[in-house]
Amino acid sequence: MMLAYMDHATAAAAEPETMELATVADAAECAAARDFGGLVSARPAAVVRPASADDVASAIQAAALTAHLTVAARGNGHSVAGQAMADGGLVLDMRAVARRTQMQLVLLSGAAFADVPGGALWEEVLHWAVSNHGLAPASWTDYLRLTVGGTLSNGGVSGQSFRYGPQVSNVAELEVVTGDGQCRVCSPSAHPDLFFAVLGGLGQFGVITRARIPLSPAPQTVKWTRVVYSSFADYAADAEWLVTRPSERAFDYVEGFAFCRNDDPVNGWPSVPIPGGAHFEPSLLPAGAGPVLYCLEVALYQHHHQHPDDVEERVCEMLRPLKYVRGLEFAAEVGYVEFLSRVNRVEEEARRNGSWAAPHPWLNLFISARDIAHFDRAVINGMLADGIDGPMLVYPMLKAKWDPNTSVALPEGEIFYLVALLRFCRPSGAGGPAVGELVEQNAAVVDACRRNGYDFKTYFPSYRAQSDWAAHFGSKWARFVDRKARYDPLAILAPGQKIFPRTP
Ligand code: FAD
Whether 497 is in the pocket of ligand 1, judged by its Cβ within 6 Å, is yes
**Residue 449, C-beta contacts closer than 8 angstroms, at least 6 positions apart:** 365, 367, 375, 379, 456
pLDDT of residue 229 exceeding 90, the answer is yes
What's the rounded Cα separation, in Å, for the pair 274 and 333?
Answer: 10
Ligand 1 close to Cβ of residue 72 (< 6 A): yes
Reply yes or no on whether the pLDDT at 23 is more than 50: no
Question: Which alpha helices (DSSP H) does 392-476 contain, by range?
Answer: 435-451, 466-473
Q: Where residue 28 falls among pLDDT bands split at 50, 70, 90?
A: very low
pLDDT of amino acid 74 = 98
Question: In angstroms, how far is the first alpha carbon of the chain from the final one?
Answer: 26
Predicted pLDDT of residue 395 = 98
Q: Are 247 and 254 in contact (CB under 8 A)?
A: no
Sign of CA dihedral 48, 53, 55, 57: positive
Specify whether the CB–CB gap between 372 and 394 falls below 8 A: yes
82 CB less than 6 Å from ligand 1?
no
Sheet holding 292-302, edge to edge: 329-335, 221-229, 292-302, 253-260, 392-398, 415-421, 363-368, 456-459
pLDDT digits (tens, 9 = 90+) for 351-396: 999 999 999 999 999 999 999 999 999 999 999 999 999 999 999 9
Burial pattern 371-387, b for ≥16 Cβ within 10 A else e, equals: bbeebbebbbeeebeeb
- Calculate Rg over the CA atoms of the chain: 23
Residue nearest to atom 34 of ligand 1 (CA): 143
Nearest CA to ligand 1 atom 33: 143
What is the mean predicted confidence (pLDDT) over 33-51?
95
375 contacts 169 by C-beta, under 8 angstroms: no
* Ligand 1 atom closest to the CA of 176, numbered from 1: 19
Under DSSP, the state recorded for 379 is: I
Cβ-Cβ contacts under 8 Å for 484 (sequence gap 6 or more): 204, 205, 491, 499, 500
What's the ipTM? 0.99
More confidently predicted of 425 and 121: 121
Say how far apart CA 198 and CA 488 lie, in whole Å: 11
pLDDT for res 21: 34
If you write DSSP's letter for every residue of 288-330 in order, what string do you get?
T--SEEEEEEEEEEE-TTS-HHHHHHHHHHHHTT----TT-EE
Query: How many residues in total does the chain contain?
Result: 504
| pLDDT given at position 114 | 98
Note the pLDDT of residue 14: 52
Can you list the domains of the chain with their CATH numbers?
Answer: 2-97+488-497 (3.30.43.10), 99-217 (3.30.465.10), 221-459 (3.40.462.10)
How many angstroms separate the alpha carbon of residue 494 from the centre of ligand 1? 13
Q: Which of 153, 170, 498 to mutate to test the pocket of ligand 1 (most atoms within 8 A of CB)?
A: 153
Query: How many Cβ atoms are within 10 Å of 178's Cβ, its own excluded?
Result: 24
Cα separation, 196 vs 199, whole angstroms: 5
How much is the pLDDT for 431? 75
Tell me the pLDDT band of 135, cut-offs 50, 70 and 90.
Answer: very high
Q: Is the pLDDT of residue 257 over 90?
A: yes
Task: Kindly state if the Cβ of 208 falls inside 6 Å of ligand 1.
Answer: yes
158 DSSP assignment:
S
Mean of per-residue pLDDT scores for the chain: 94
Tell me which of 56-60, 89-93, 277-281, 486-490 is least confident.
Answer: 277-281
From the CB of 73, is ligand 1 less than 6 Å away?
A: yes
- Bigger pLDDT: 208 vs 8: 208
Q: Within its chain, how far is the Cα of 220 from the centroid?
A: 25
331, β-bridge pairs = 225
The continuous run of DSSP H or E covering 486 comes out as: helix 477-487
**DSSP result, 125-157:** HHHHHHHHHSEE-S---SS--SBHHHHHTT---
**pLDDT band (50, 70, 90) for residue 426:** confident
Residue 2: pLDDT band (50, 70, 90) is low
* Ligand 1 centre distance from Cα of residue 280 (Å): 34
Contact 355, 427 (CB under 8 A): yes
Q: Is the pLDDT of residue 166 over 90?
A: yes
Residue 25 pLDDT: 40
The answer, yes or no, to whether residue 206 has pLDDT greater than 50, is yes
Average pLDDT over residues 92-117: 97
Give the pLDDT mean for 291-305. 97
Quick one: pLDDT at residue 489?
A: 98
> Would you place residue 5 in the very low, low, confident or very high pLDDT band (cuts 50, 70, 90)?
very low
Share of the chain above pLDDT 70, in %: 94
Q: Is the pLDDT of residue 404 over 70?
A: yes
Look at residue 22 and tell me whether its pLDDT is greater than 80: no
CA 349 to chain centre: 21
Can you say whether residue 361 is alpha, beta or left, with left for phi > 0 and alpha for psi between -120 and 50 degrees? beta
Residue 9: per-residue pLDDT: 44
Q: Tell me, what's the pLDDT at 29? A: 53
Q: Where in the sequence numbering do the catalytic residues fall?
A: 78, 142, 255
Q: Which atom of ligand 1 is nearest to the CA of 156?
A: 25
For 1-15, 128-142, 188-202, 483-497, which range has the lowest pLDDT when averaged over its residues?
Answer: 1-15
Residue 116's SS3 state is: strand
Which residue lies with its CA nearest to atom 18 of ligand 1? 149
Residue 483 has pLDDT above 90, yes or no: yes
Ligand 1 pocket, 369 CB below 6 A?
no
Q: Is the model's pLDDT at 4 over the cut of 80? A: no
Ligand 1 atom 16 nearest Cα: 149
